[in-house]
Amino acid sequence: MRFSKAFSLRWLAAALLFAAGTIAGSSLYAEELSRTDFVLGTVCTVRFIDGGNNAALDEAFARLRTIEEHMSANRDDSELSRVNAMAGKEPVKVSEDTFYVISKALDYARLTNGGFDPSVGPLVKLWNIGNGGEKVPPAKNILAAKALVDWRQIVLDATTRKVFLKKPGMALDLGAIAKGYAADEIEKILLNHKVKAAVIDLGGNIFVFGSKKDKSPWRVGIQNPDSTRGEFLGIVAGGQMTVVASGVYERYFIENGKRYHHILDTKTGFPVDNGLVSVSVVSKSSIDADALSTSLFVLGIEKGMEFLRQFPDTYAVFIDKDNRVYLSPGAGKVFTLQDKNYQLAEK
């Protein structure tokens, strides 16, 4: 599956992780109920801290599988694959799920002027980062794939709920936004089942839901990009929130001493190269946090900071290759730097 920003088991807890005592002070609640399964191309865990039952877990994982069946870029029978197969031929009717997520992705494409582009599929498939045997593609192949990437060639018909890709060979990839949508959908299920406190971990996309019994804040650690052991450099603390990260350490390969990561620049056809190694976003909406983490990474620190002003009560933590940490306005209220090898900086 091409959903996970933290694709392999090595990075299951890498992008974001819980700090010691996150769940309930110094110990877990006795009535905690959780389930872990492989879905959306990664290992997903839903953990009920206060309230909830197996029926709610069943519904949550059934919902995840439905989203996977609709939006996987690697399942031949998914709606997304049917849309891609009919590129340049005819529109394809899709579910409300898929239509909404594609519409949301196009909103970000417009806002970022293509920095975030759901039609990146041909480049993603060409580079194939995270699936083994990676190497830098020939220049002519990059140019050919890049010519097929253009969000403006995606046509949506809200009346019929049909999606059409104008050029043959175009392909949608929703890997930078679908897991965020999935987390928001699980939130609805938790509300319906009157769950009071829960943790949703979709391969590193974290959503902490409700309030713990002791009323202490949730604490989510942000990954140290230099660590392969899941160590964190700082803590995000607060009430109900989602925290999503994008970074060069998640999926990559090294060729001739150079690291090539999975976040692709649609203008060059190569991985983004702007000095950033990680961007973490804190928000109330997981679909927005998911799309924003990629958008801000592509835009870079200065443009990213300016772009984020459009999103109230949403914060970002930027980390560059020189171990400098940049906080968006207001992020200091929720984030505390703890690793002395990194330093706060201003842009």
- The DSSP bridge partners found for residue 261 are 252
**pLDDT tens-digit profile of 243-292?**
999 988 878 888 888 888 999 999 999 999 999 999 999 999 999 999 99
| Lookup: tokens for 323 | 């171990």
The residue out of 148, 165, 182 marking a domain boundary is: 165
CATH code at position 219: 3.10.520.10
Q: Are residues 161 and 199 in the same domain?
A: no
176: which residues sit within 8 A by CB, 6+ positions away?
5, 105, 116, 118, 246, 290, 291, 294
Contacts of 12 (CB under 8 A, 6+ apart): 6, 42, 43, 203, 204
- Residue 229 pLDDT > 70, yes or no? no
**Statement to judge: residues 160 and 210 lie in one domain:** no
Instruction: Tell me, yes or no, whether 2 lies in a domain.
Output: no
In a domain, 266, yes or no: yes
> H helices of 72-160, where?
79-85, 96-111, 121-127, 139-146
Phi-psi group of 88: left, alpha or beta (phi > 0 → left; psi -120 to 50 → alpha; rest → beta): left
pLDDT per residue as tens digits for the range 115-159: 999 999 999 999 998 888 889 999 999 999 999 999 999 999 999
Which residues are CB-contacts of 281 (< 8 A; sequence separation ≥ 6)? 243, 244, 245, 288, 289, 292, 293, 296, 314, 315, 316
Greatest mean pLDDT among 15-24, 31-40, 290-299 lies in 290-299
Whether residue 84 sits in one domain with residue 96: yes
Whether the predicted pLDDT of 9 surpasses 50: no
Structural domain including 218 reads 9-66+194-345
Q: What is the DSSP secondary-structure string of 137-186?
A: PPHHHHHHHHTT--GGGEEEETTTTEEEESSTT-----TTTHHHHHHHHH
| Same domain membership, residue 49 and residue 73 | no
Q: Which runs of E-coded beta strand occur in the chain?
A: 16-18, 33-39, 42-50, 92-93, 154-157, 162-165, 197-202, 205-210, 218-223, 232-238, 241-247, 252-255, 258-261, 276-283, 315-320, 324-327, 335-337, 343-345
**Which residue from 61, 81, 85, 86 is spatially nearest to 71, judged by alpha carbons?**
81
pLDDT for res 194: 96
218 and 241 housed in the same domain = yes
Domain assignment present for residue 189? The answer is no
Please state whether beta strands 324-327 and 343-345 pair in parallel, antiparallel, or not at all (unpaired): parallel
The verdict on 62 and 73 lying in the same domain is no
Q: Where does a domain end: 165, 184, 204?
A: 165
Q: Does residue 81 sit in the same domain as residue 44?
A: no
Query: Does residue 176 sit within a domain?
Result: no
The reply to whether 27 falls in a domain is yes
Same domain, 202 and 253: yes
CATH number for the domain that contains residue 88: 1.10.3980.10
**Confidence (pTM):** 0.91
Alpha carbons 149 and 142: distance in angstroms, whole number? 11
Answer positive or negative: Cα dihedral of 193, 72, 251, 263.
negative
- In total, how many domains does the chain have? 2
